[in-house]
Structure 1
Amino acid sequence: MPDVFDHDDLARLRIALARIGRTVDRQVRGDAMTRTQVSVLGTVSRLGPIAMGELAEIEGVNPTMLSRIVGKLENGGLLARETDPGDRRVVRVAATEHGLRTQEHLRSERTRVLGEHLRRMPESHGRDLLDALPAIEALADVLGPRPVRDTALADEQAR
């Protein structure tokens, strides 16, 4: 594909996407959880039980940091660690019932908050965003395809 974006266009797109994500997350989670904790809870809720090594790779954090994050979520009753019955060296993480309810609430609230902001925009901008959605999703896939397990789950939910 020819380079249709100049440096300023790319910077504007990157900044706008980051601002949207930060603003919606901040309005939903407040000071209760960090963005990384919310992300880890979401990943474990979708894919879990999941091995800590796989989770660290998906989240892009080192195992020591992940262990601390999981520990905080575990202390909050959101996640539980368990030893893999097939390989006692592997620690798996699963969302608790409280964690699953919390994740669903966060997801629902993020959608609600985004919807409120979108309704404040002119209708034509909303249509433009919907028209651009396939391109935005393709960009997300190019940047980092969904984990195979996540893709299979999305396919199953689409049915």
Structure 2
Amino acid sequence: MTQTFDNDDVIRLRVALSRIARLLDRQSRGASLTRTQASVLATVSRLGSVRLSDLADAEGVNPTMLSRIVAKLEDRGLLRRSTDPDDRRVAHVECTDAGTAEHLRVRNERTQLLRERLTGLSEASAAELLAALPALESLADQCSPHNPRKESQ
């Protein structure tokens, strides 16, 4: 049986997720990274060495815009660009040690900020949130542009 979602409930979920994401973003990435730069850095950190074209797809930005973002992160010593030895037209990007450290700093800061907010919840709300985690993870998987289950459907 397929669940039908009331439009008001979908709006409430979207707004709640957006508010949480904005709060964590504003309070953790600092003034040194834009939201997009922080996202690109996190994606490269997660994927390792990645083709620029695959990174553009993962981030949902056009290759020209991504090239500018990567250049700024390169200038700051956070990313390193290299040419594929088998195909000189293909560029790869990876995190430097400083890039990995910055990504981990932001991630840890966001985790701590969220932990602080979670400790303020009532026991009942905390239990409900924990019970909802598998559903939220499933929703995140469905929203991912490179979800293998989504592509096979």
Identity of aligned residues (%): 55
Within a 5 Å distance, the mapping from 1:85-124 to structure 2 comes to 85-124=85-124
Other structure's SS at 2:77 match: coil
Structure 2 regions of 5+ residues with no counterpart?
Answer: 149-153
Deviations 1:43-95 (A, max 9, x none): 11111211100000010000011011101111111001111112111011010
Higher mean displacement: 24-33 or 129-138: 24-33
1:42 maps to which residue?
42
Residues paired across the two proteins, number: 148
Q: With the length of structure 1 as denominator, give the TM-score of the two structures.
A: 0.88
Structure 1 regions of 5+ residues with no counterpart?
Answer: 149-159
Asked whether the equivalents of residues 80 and 94 of structure 1 are also in contact (C-alpha less than 8 Å), the reply is yes
Distance, in Å, in 2 between the alignment partners of 1:60 and 1:46 is 16
Any runs of at least 4 consecutive aligned residues in structure 1 with deviations exceeding 6 A, and if so which? none
How well do the aligned residues superpose, as a CA RMSD in angstroms? Answer: 1.4
CA distance change for structure 1 residues 145 and 126 in 2, over 3 Å: closer, same or farther? Answer: farther
Q: With the length of structure 2 as denominator, give the TM-score of the two structures.
A: 0.91
Distance, in Å, in 1 between the alignment partners of 2:6 and 2:118 is 27
Other structure's SS at 1:89 match: coil
Asked whether the equivalents of residues 45 and 94 of structure 2 are also in contact (C-alpha less than 8 Å), the reply is yes
